[in-house]
Structure 1
């Protein structure tokens, strides 16, 4: 089990910035359903900087690349290069892990399974990718990592992170691509009392709900957004964004979603899928 440590300047609160589903291309003109993903990613980073968002670390929850190229992953590295904070990342269904491992180990980016955060929290970073398909599944090994981390650090509040959503989001077309062994995932969590929230990407929309007494949250994509509560594939005109977290020492979580203003990054609303 790969373990990292994250210290905070504030002993009371640790702040995280979630960036997800950037879907970057090697080609700087690469577009996903009408949106130039490099430009929208850069615009999100610029907006975060202009708002002077404070954070101790970045959590990148998958689908960093759309075309599997090392150049696309390098675009992500370059995009966050001005930030000295560590970026903890995990793979999504669109990612190609050999290239991720070769490019995203540079600079301040780090792939680990457990991050001990300050004195009171830990992050458990899971790999839910099933190679070649859009849905997710946690292997027996990943479930064992989760169980062991929760047992070993029973006194720490825990944020569990994975790419795929571990419960239905309310859109039939999208929910067929959720975490397929979610019952096994929740069975592990139900054995422990220290999990405060689960955070995912994948659904290209903001989500903040509860399941079995545990908060479940997702962030907007930095490019296209999927329309909530839609049985068939549908895009949304809501703008690209990110999510901010404040993890407090008493186990509570404050969070908010930030978005770009304006209408610059509107998708092709006639798209039937991707």
Structure 2
């Protein structure tokens, strides 16, 4: 089973619109072409689909994603409009991967750059984990860890301590994927009796400079995506970059 994660396209209704360091639509097309070559079984889009938050930008994204040779799912980021996303393609919270479960979490706080699950969504996650002990992969937009960039760490998942406390009771959670940071990340998060692999993904749009105290673009880096190969209860994951 091969999953591919893409994230943070920041699309505009105008395909020629520029970001700080490129043209998001062009980068989106190039990344999707590379993803198709990976022959994925599932593609996960982990938020910030749109920058201008227009219905047209989501329609463009949906049309492009529908060209993929496999099913795909998406979750909202802090820039996204849930109703506009839902109008184009369903927002689901779980996908059955046979041997694995894929759980998709909404960490959006309306009008804020940071994320939060809150008591209700944490309780719902606990209930879902109680129901099934298969190996589980969680996808969320906001990072539940510090990535080492001061300004970005301030706008990650605000209730991360409660999140990790919850996961300490459910050793079937093996992998967490996040977006938002516009950079690659890979670490193992240690809990009392287990370790969880936590992965960030390069953006489709601008890349952010790792380790920066203040917002900064990494002009030396390139758009990319993350591949996750699931083999029984084991997995491998790596990042691929795309030449634009």
TM-score clears 0.5? yes
CA distance in 1, matches of 2:21, 2:208: 13
1:217 aligns with 2:199: yes
Instruction: Name the structure 1 match of 2:63.
Output: 78
Instruction: Name the structure 2 match of 1:19.
Output: 6
CA distance in 2, matches of 1:137, 1:82: 32
1:232 aligns with 2:239: no
CA distance in 1, matches of 2:43, 2:59: 16
CA distance in 1, matches of 2:241, 2:64: 17
Where in structure 1 do 4 or more consecutive aligned residues deviate above 3 Å?
Answer: none
Measured after TM superposition, the shift of residue 27 of structure 1 is: 1.1
TM-score by length of 2: 0.94
Secondary structure at the aligned position of 1:140 is classed as: helix
Instruction: Name the structure 1 match of 2:149.
Output: 171
Which residue, 232, 237, 240 being the options, matches 1:258?
Answer: 240
Spell out the pairing of 1:29-44 with structure 2 (5 A cutoff). Answer: 29-44=16-31
CA distance in 1, matches of 2:226, 2:146: 20
Consecutive unaligned residues of structure 1, counting only runs of 5 or more, are 1-13, 106-110, 265-274
| Counterpart contact for 1:73–1:104, Cα < 8 Å | no
Which residue, 37, 43, 54 being the options, matches 1:69?
Answer: 54
1:115 aligns with 2:92: no
The Cα offsets for residues 44-84 of structure 1, whole Å up to 9 and x where unpaired, read as: 112333xx212111101000001111111111112222223
CA distance in 2, matches of 1:34, 1:122: 36
CA RMSD of aligned residues (A): 1.2
| Counterpart contact for 1:208–1:218, Cα < 8 Å | yes
The Cα offsets for residues 88-125 of structure 1, whole Å up to 9 and x where unpaired, read as: 111100001111111123xxxxx21121211x200110
